[in-house]
Amino acid sequence: MIWNLVQATVFRLPLPRAYGWRRFWLRLFGAKIDGVAAVGATTRIMHPWLLTMGDWSNIAPGATIYNLGPIRLGEHSVISQDAYICAGTHDYTDPTMPLLRPPITIGRGVWIAAGAFVGPGVTIGDNAVVGARAVVTKDVPAGMVVAGNPARVVKARETKA
């Protein structure tokens, strides 16, 4: 409950580039953040104590980190605006519908574009790209570009050397 109060007030102060300020609050509530990771003022994080961010990673304003289970974001990775990363679901085959909290792992050098959805238990390999508004419900191989609903591999990621 205290985290919700902090997130709704001091975390959201509209200070330009106040990434250190937000890292301070996230770390205070148990997030494991390496180096100079950045989190936008309007990013929503459910449970900071279940979040791990690598150095130079970035979660854009408006993104939602619904981490009922652990979420790990690798170094130099970006979650763009309005993306929704969801590490929680229910077992609908059980009449009591128990809560499940499968982890999400996002590798190094990954870009999750605007408005994408990443579902529970998904692993996104290093240097992959998830296209805008894609719905990812299965693992994404390293170095691939995926897009669509459901997300499918559209090509290998080409990088300039």
Catalytic residue selected from 5, 8, 36, 90? 90
47 is annotated as an active-site residue: no
| Torsion sign over Cα 58, 62, 63, 67 | positive
The sheet with strand 84-86 has its strands ordered as: 44-45, 64-66, 84-86, 117-118, 135-136
Paired strand residues for 32: 52
Q: CA 69, CA 47: separation in Å to the nearest integer?
A: 9
Looking only at the bridges linking them, the beta strands covering 123-124 and 111-112 are unpaired
CB of 93 closer than 8 Å to CB of 111: no
CB of 3 closer than 8 Å to CB of 30: no
> Residue 12 corresponds to which tokens in the numbers above?
């959201």
Show which residues are catalytic. 90
